[in-house]
Amino acid sequence: MIGLRKRGVATADVLMPGARLRARPTVVAAERDGRTVLLDLRTDRYYGLDESGSRFWALLSQGRTTDETAAQLADEYDAPVERLKADATAFALRLAAAGLLEAE
C-alpha cells in the first residue's frame, strides 16, 4: 500500500511520545464507501486506504497521538489496545515515510 523510505527526521518525530500528528498540508483526502484516497500534491501520487486504514487515517491525521488513536479504536472495536498501539505506530511511520503525515 505505502512504500517505506529511509527513516528521517519527519518519521523520527512521529515516534516521539505524545507527538500529535496531522496530515501534511500538501495532502488531500477523499473518503467514499469506507475507503480513502490520499493525493500528495507535491508528488502527484495517489494512495488508497482500505476501511481499517481509512479509520486510522481519520484519527491520526487530525492531531491525535498514536495512543489516543489506539484508545479510540479500542472503544470502537473488539481489539486489545496494545495491539492497536503497535498498529497505529507502524501505520503512522509508513504514512510519515511516504510524506503524508507529520508531527505538529
pLDDT tens across 59-94, in order? Answer: 998 899 999 999 999 999 989 999 999 999 999 989
What pLDDT score was predicted for residue 18?
84
Q: Are 53 and 1 in contact (CB under 8 A)?
A: yes
Average pLDDT, the chain: 86
Mean pLDDT along residues 34-50: 94
What pLDDT score was predicted for residue 51?
93
- Give the closest residue to 24 by CA, choosing from 90, 89, 104, 88: 104
What cell numbers appear for 44 in the block?
502527484
pTM confidence score: 0.82
What pLDDT score was predicted for residue 8?
47
Q: Are 43 and 99 in contact (CB under 8 A)?
A: yes
H or E, element range at 49: strand 45-49
- DSSP annotation of 77 reads S
Query: Per 3-state DSSP, what percentage of the chain is helix, strand, and coil (rounded to 5)?
Result: 40, 25, 35
- Rounded to whole angstroms, the Cα distance separating 99 from 5 reads 9
What pLDDT score was predicted for residue 103?
86
